[in-house]
Amino acid sequence: MSATLAFKENFDSEKAKGALEDILAAFDQPENFARLQDAKDLAGNDMLKHMQIVFPLLTQIEMTVIESYGFTRDGEGVLQFAQIIKQMEREHPEIARLNAELRAHFIPPMVPPSLPDN
């Protein structure tokens, strides 16, 4: 059995819920919250700036949390975590809810620019 497969078997739905809750809580920690708010203010309503400024900060915070759940602290670890969560959310509504809340941080609703009056 590969190390990845063994790891997946040990990462159950309770650990997944815990990881998602911990990530969301990390976003709300005072230091992280302030950094995220500054980044969001800087990005404004520009989706490209959001992807350049806010997204990397959110990912950095997420990597810090998922490392304690056995994932590597890099892009590969984030992708593995996302894939496992996506698989689990089909059978676990609470995981689906928490993951939707997490995704909302990464891709917030954007207000379309108003069209000029003619």
Handedness of CA 79, 13, 17, 109 (dihedral sign): positive
Query: Are 20 and 94 in contact, with CB atoms under 8 Å apart?
Result: no
Give the per-residue pLDDT at 1.
40
113 in a domain, yes or no? no
pTM for the whole structure: 0.83
Residue entry with tokens 């790891």: 7
pLDDT tens figures, 52-69: 999 999 999 999 999 999
118 in a domain, yes or no? no
Q: List Cβ neighbours of 87 (8 Å cut-off, separation of 6 or more).
A: none
DSSP code of 69? Answer: T
Structural domain range at position 11: 7-105
> Averaged over 30-52, what is the pLDDT?
94
Give the per-residue pLDDT at 2.
42
| Number of domains forming the structure of the chain | 1
73 in a domain, yes or no? yes
116 in a domain, yes or no? no
111 in a domain, yes or no? no
**pLDDT of residue 26 exceeding 70:** yes
Q: Which of 16, 4, 15 is nearest to 76 (CA)?
A: 4
110 in a domain, yes or no? no
| Higher pLDDT, residue 1 or 18 | 18
> Averaged over 26-53, what is the pLDDT?
94
17 in a domain, yes or no? yes
* C-beta atoms surrounding 65 within 10 Å: 21
Give the per-residue pLDDT at 8.
59
Give the per-residue pLDDT at 76.
94
Query: Are 114 and 104 in contact, with CB atoms under 8 Å apart?
Result: no
114 in a domain, yes or no? no
